Structure 1
Amino acid sequence: MAAAFDTGLFGREGGYAVRIMDLSGGNGAEPVETIRGFQTLEHANAFARRYVRDSVERCRNRGMSPEQVLAAWFAFGEDAEVVGGAEQAWRSAAELNDFAARPARDAEDRNWRALDPRRDEEDEEEE
């Protein structure tokens, strides 16, 4: 297997991956799953951001304060961690407070499925 070679923000031999972490502790410190096949860091970052945004929104109930949303997310949500992006990788901590304070207004902000590289694999299998 070839070693991964980082060519910057727009490419990496072998691609990037995103680890999905269950914050409820049901899986311990291990990721629930690792999604591979992101050809660019931008793609992996966008997927991780939308995945976390969706997780925060699933933890939100009407009338909750931002602090309550965060508490629910840390108890029941899922975090996403970009693998292979070093300092340029998106991190939930950068936007988590904003996510909790402002509900998503656009469904696209939450649509991580449209960016899922496994979707491309399924499309190829159907052809």
Structure 2
Amino acid sequence: MSETIFAPAEGWRVRILDLSGGAEDNIVEEVGGFPDLIQANAFARAYVRDSIERCRMAGLSPAEVLKAWFSFGEDAEVLEAGDMGWRSANELDDFAAHAATPMERDWRAFDPRRADDDDAED
């Protein structure tokens, strides 16, 4: 196995991609500072889950939900994680077929920037 389970020196990073093509190179931002791959993967998964739900409208079929997501949504990828990084392609059909719970959409719970905000409030 060529991937490492150890975090890069600055921590794991997740790249957010704009599927509508509105951002340069489709990159919206990179979120860094994830202390472990589990948290980075959970953030990426919840972020995409939330993006799909924002594209879901009443009466749309799963295929129509995916079409809307590919046109207007945002994808996420864990950088430098190789095969150990979460991939949206593995779960898109299930996400489109089944609406997410609020907990499944809560990417903010995994966002390392939130810890910085909490520190500032103290």
TM-score, normalised to structure 2, is 0.92
* Residue 59 (structure 1) aligned to one of 50, 55, 62: 55
Do structure 1's residue 8 and structure 2's residue 32 form an aligned pair?
no
Query: Once superposed, what is the RMSD of the aligned Cα atoms?
Result: 1.4
More helix by share: 2
Secondary structure of the equivalent of 1:93?
A: helix
Kept in 1: contact 2:4–2:81 (CA 8 A)? no
Of structures 1 and 2, the one scoring higher in RCO (CA 8 A, sep 6+) is 2
Match of 1:93 in 2: 89
- Runs (4+) off by over 3 Å: none
Secondary structure of the equivalent of 2:25?
A: coil
Do structure 1's residue 124 and structure 2's residue 119 form an aligned pair?
yes
Do structure 1's residue 26 and structure 2's residue 22 form an aligned pair?
yes
Distance 1:96 1:28 in 2: 24
Please, which runs of 5 or more residues in structure 1 have no aligned partner?
1-5
Which amino acid is 1:33 matched to? E
CA deviation string 1:67-124 (max 9, x = no partner): 10000000000000111211100010000111011111x2110000111100001111
